[in-house]
């Protein structure tokens, strides 16, 4: 089922999430709802807090270029590429990359953010089985972005003071205009 995504500066987005203890039907429903919501909104990742559930749960699905269909250059999200991560922990990171990030909770905004280039993360899958993943490039960015949500932070908090100020001004203006419509 598709859920409503909380939009910045909703105060719930500032709250830290807590670990999942039970790997039950409730968790599986949450994961399924998160996937429905992410796909509906055209996102590549989603944290549970973004639909108001303060649990350490995130999903990621990086699109692949659809080489069969030249008409479609947007890329498709394959079910087999869906990552479902419960209680993720960063165990290693190195290097640096700058990536133009966006977020379903701050729609329409894209900003260049500095992240680690390579990450190793341990997590549990929907059945509670321990998993480890090594990621680089876009996938590493997605992991870092979604894990940041679980700590009660959003990507624009990484901007410099001046860029953040500029963002807040533009965001307030765009939200006001949205309200008028």
Task: Determine phi and psi for 133, rounding to 5 degrees.
Answer: -135, 140
Residue with Cβ nearer Co ion (104 or 129) = 104
Residue 103 as a binder of Co ion (CB under 5 A): the answer is yes
The stretch among 80-88, 96-104, 108-116, 161-169 that binds Co ion (CB under 5 A) is 96-104
The stretch among 63-71, 82-90, 103-111, 126-134 that binds Co ion (CB under 5 A) is 103-111
Residue with Cβ nearer Co ion (20 or 38) = 38
Q: Which residues contact 44 (CB under 8 A, 6 or more apart)?
A: 38, 60, 61, 62, 63, 77, 142
Residue 13 as a binder of Co ion (CB under 5 A): the answer is no
Respond yes or no: is residue 168 known to be catalytic: no
Cα separation, 45 vs 66, in Å, equals 19
DSSP state of 93: E
Minimum distance from residue 103 beta carbon to Co ion (Å): 3
Residue 56 in tokens: 């350490």
For residue 47, how many other CB atoms are within 10 A of its CB? 30
The stretch among 33-41, 54-62, 81-89, 100-108 that binds Co ion (CB under 5 A) is 100-108
> One of 84, 101, 146, 148 is an active-site residue; which one?
146
Residue 23 in tokens: 């790997």
Minimum distance from residue 155 beta carbon to Co ion (Å): 6
3-state secondary structure at position 16: coil
Q: Enumerate binding residues for Co ion (CB under 5 A).
A: 103
User: Which residues are tagged catalytic?
Assistant: 146
């Amino acid at each position: 089922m598709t859920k409503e995504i909380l939009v910045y500066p909703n105060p719930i987005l500032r709250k830290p999430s807590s670990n999942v203890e039970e790997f039950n039907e409730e968790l599986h429903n949450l994961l399924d709802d998160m996937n429905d919501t992410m796909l509906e909104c055209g996102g590549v990742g989603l944290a549970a807090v973004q639909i108001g559930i303060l649990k350490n749960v995130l999903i990621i699905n990086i699109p692949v270029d659809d080489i069969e269909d030249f008409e479609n250059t947007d890329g498709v999200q394959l079910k087999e590429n869906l990552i479902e991560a419960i209680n993720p922990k960063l165990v290693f990171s190195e290097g640096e990359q700058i990536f133009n990030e966006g977020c379903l909770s701050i729609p329409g905004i894209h900003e260049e953010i500095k992240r680690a280039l390579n990450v190793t993360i341990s997590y549990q899958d929907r059945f509670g089985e321990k998993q480890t993943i090594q990621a680089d490039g876009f996938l590493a960015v997605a992991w870092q972005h979604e894990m940041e949500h679980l700590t009660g932070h959003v990507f624009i908090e990484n901007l410099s003071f001046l860029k953040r100020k500029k963002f807040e001004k533009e965001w307030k203006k765009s939200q006001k205009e949205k309200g008028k419509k």
